[in-house]
Amino acid sequence: MSRFFQTYEQAIEFIFGRINYERVAGVAYSADDAKLERMRRLLSLLGHPHERFPVVHVAGTKGKGSTSVMTAAILSAAGYRTGLFTSPHISAFEERMVVDGVRPEPGHMVELVNRLVEPVEIMDRHSQGGGPTYFELATALAWLYFVERHAEIAVLEVGLGGRLDATNVCRPLVGVITNISRDHTNVLGSTVAQIAHEKAGIVKSGIPLISGVAAGPAGDVVDQVCRREASPLYRLGREIEWRPAGGPIERSAETSASHLSIDVQTPWGQWTQVPVPLRGFHQGTNAALAVATAGLLAAGNLRISCKAIDDGMSAVRWPARIEVIATSPTVVVDAAHNWASTEALVRTLEAQFSARRRILIFAGTKDKDVGGLLRLLFPRFDSVILTQYRTNPRGVAVDELAALAQATALRSCHIAADAGAAWRVARRLAAPDDLICITGSFFIATELREIVLDGRRTCS
């Protein structure tokens, strides 16, 4: 007999109770676990909500969330009711799905989840591939919410890979791949070419692709897939160019300015002095991809003015991406968890933040190159606090981190059993003119962000 939920807590527990590969410990997940047929069956039982509006589909190893948020903000500023689906969330599950920045209210979430109950029960009983997963339900909920909020277009961030991701049943106006590097190697492959094949799985026949993928093996794969699918390809560094406003695109441009403005040149026009709302030189690349996507859509049949691009970019807020959440001492939280994102964090800290001493709080995830991240981070910090997060079983135990730190960097570190203890150690070490950086995983960034902000609210 079907269950229907009365409270928000019951509804969310139903979603969280499904198998969740964001939380699976170790390397239990493989590409075989992602089955688009299962997602199509779920959407069919729900009345095909994914066919009600067009999509901008965004994949990539790094920057896909930022690019998605910027693109959605531009479309909203242009006057289109715009859905945005991202993952993971910071503090509330429904943050993953917004329309023009508005997420579902708790009562609305109960109504949406209740619509899933019967289809899930049917699939649990009769589907050979098993019932839908947590991420598949989250994706379906987003589509249901977008339909109820009368979205005219949606921006979908791929959860993992692309080819077999639950979002890949969409019908896009344009695809975007931000970049490709080694990450999730247990699922996507051990080489950048293999990973590129998975991410290029979002390419649809005849649908244009905006690509931030660098030349080389990954770029070659993307080129080949686009030729095979007869999909027009527009590449950063070739058809699309960007530079800091009024200057050359050089690493020396990473000045102390907290935010960039950029000039972007595309086949559809050029835009000057576009504000980049997020910190870091690397965000210039993400912004250029978002502007190029808007330009391509405007060259079609969407009305997107230069003012909409400027207004949309200026309105962007994106937590846990080199986010300053406190001062005296300065506290920066960033969800970097792979080499590329951690390198971008380090460059930004060195270019844009001055501090007497730098203190690192780090926790890692089992399927990441934790040793490589520690080798990159350690030389940039005066004190290091190793800890582990409690909200996800994929976290590396703190004693394992300590052993790894000793083996890879010959560095002694402070050890804290959990995020709260790590924060207390950091506060004891830090003077008002110091900097505390929290990074290593999205999960430690989320846990400590809440602890720090809750402490500020208590003191205010």
- Does residue 3 lie in a domain region? no
In 3-state terms, what secondary structure has residue 312?
helix
In 3-state terms, what secondary structure has residue 5?
coil
Tokens at 200, concatenated: 């290029």
What is the DSSP secondary structure assignment for residue 355, as one 8-state letter?
Answer: -
Check whether the bond before 119 is cis (ω within 30° of 0): no
Q: Which residues contact 149 (CB under 8 A, 6 or more apart)?
A: 81, 83, 99, 102
355 shares its domain with 291: no
Residue 448 sits in a domain whose CATH number is 3.90.190.20
- CB-CB contact of 282 with 60 (8 Å): no
pLDDT of the chain along its 460 residues, tens only?
Answer: 467 899 999 999 999 998 766 555 444 444 444 568 999 999 999 999 999 999 999 999 889 999 999 999 999 999 999 999 999 898 899 999 999 999 999 999 999 999 999 999 999 988 666 789 999 999 999 999 999 999 999 999 999 888 889 999 999 999 999 999 755 444 454 688 989 999 999 999 999 999 999 999 999 999 999 999 999 999 999 999 999 997 665 544 454 456 789 999 999 999 999 999 999 999 999 999 999 999 999 999 899 999 999 999 999 989 999 999 999 999 999 999 888 899 999 999 999 999 999 999 999 998 888 999 999 999 999 999 999 998 778 899 999 999 988 887 777 899 999 999 999 999 999 999 999 999 999 999 999 999 999 876 555 5
250 shares its domain with 352: no
pLDDT digits (tens, 9 = 90+) for 122-174: 999 886 667 899 999 999 999 999 999 999 999 999 998 888 899 999 999 99
Instruction: Give the total number of structural domains in the chain.
Output: 2
- Does residue 2 lie in a domain region? no
d(CA 449, CA 161): 27
Inter-CA distances, 136 with 301, 338, 453, Å: 31, 25, 31
d(CA 123, CA 165): 19
Beta strand 55-59 with 97-99 is unpaired
337 shares its domain with 237: no
For CA atoms 222, 224, 228, 234, the dihedral sign is: positive
181 shares its domain with 213: yes
- Does residue 1 lie in a domain region? no
What is the DSSP secondary structure assignment for residue 365, as one 8-state letter?
Answer: B
261 shares its domain with 341: no
Residue 82 sits in a domain whose CATH number is 3.40.1190.10
- Does residue 192 lie in a domain region? yes
Q: Which residues contact 93 (CB under 8 A, 6 or more apart)?
A: 12, 15, 16, 109, 138
- CB-CB contact of 288 with 176 (8 Å): no
Which residues form the domain of 247? 8-314
- Does residue 216 lie in a domain region? yes
In 3-state terms, what secondary structure has residue 287?
helix
d(CA 200, CA 169): 14
336 shares its domain with 307: no
- Does residue 229 lie in a domain region? yes
Residue 322, number of CB atoms within 10 A of its CB: 25
157 shares its domain with 229: yes
d(CA 321, CA 403): 28
- Does residue 213 lie in a domain region? yes
d(CA 260, CA 282): 10
84 shares its domain with 222: yes
What pLDDT sits at residue 255? 47
Q: Write the secondary structure of 218-265 as one string of H (helix), E (strand) and C (coil).
A: HHHHHHHHHHHCCCCEEEECCCEEEEECCCCCCHHHCCCCCCCEEEEE
341 shares its domain with 256: no
What pLDDT sits at residue 22? 55
Tokens at 36, concatenated: 């688009």
**Tokens 């590396």 map to which residue?**
396
75 shares its domain with 205: yes
187 shares its domain with 113: yes
- CB-CB contact of 377 with 362 (8 Å): yes
Query: 314, 335, 350 — which closes off a domain?
Result: 314
Which candidate, 349, 406, 441, places its Cα nearest to that of 88? Answer: 441
pLDDT digits (tens, 9 = 90+) for 318-375: 999 999 999 999 999 999 988 889 999 999 999 999 999 999 999 999 888 899 999 9
What pLDDT sits at residue 338? 87
Tokens at 172, concatenated: 């896009």
266 shares its domain with 377: no
In what side-by-side order are the strands of the sheet with 241-244?
241-244, 261-266, 269-275
- Does residue 440 lie in a domain region? yes
Query: 274, 292, 314 — which closes off a domain?
Result: 314
Q: Which residues contact 28 (CB under 8 A, 6 or more apart)?
A: none
**Tokens 């994929």 map to which residue?**
394
pTM over 0.85: yes
d(CA 408, CA 289): 36
Tokens at 39, concatenated: 């997602």
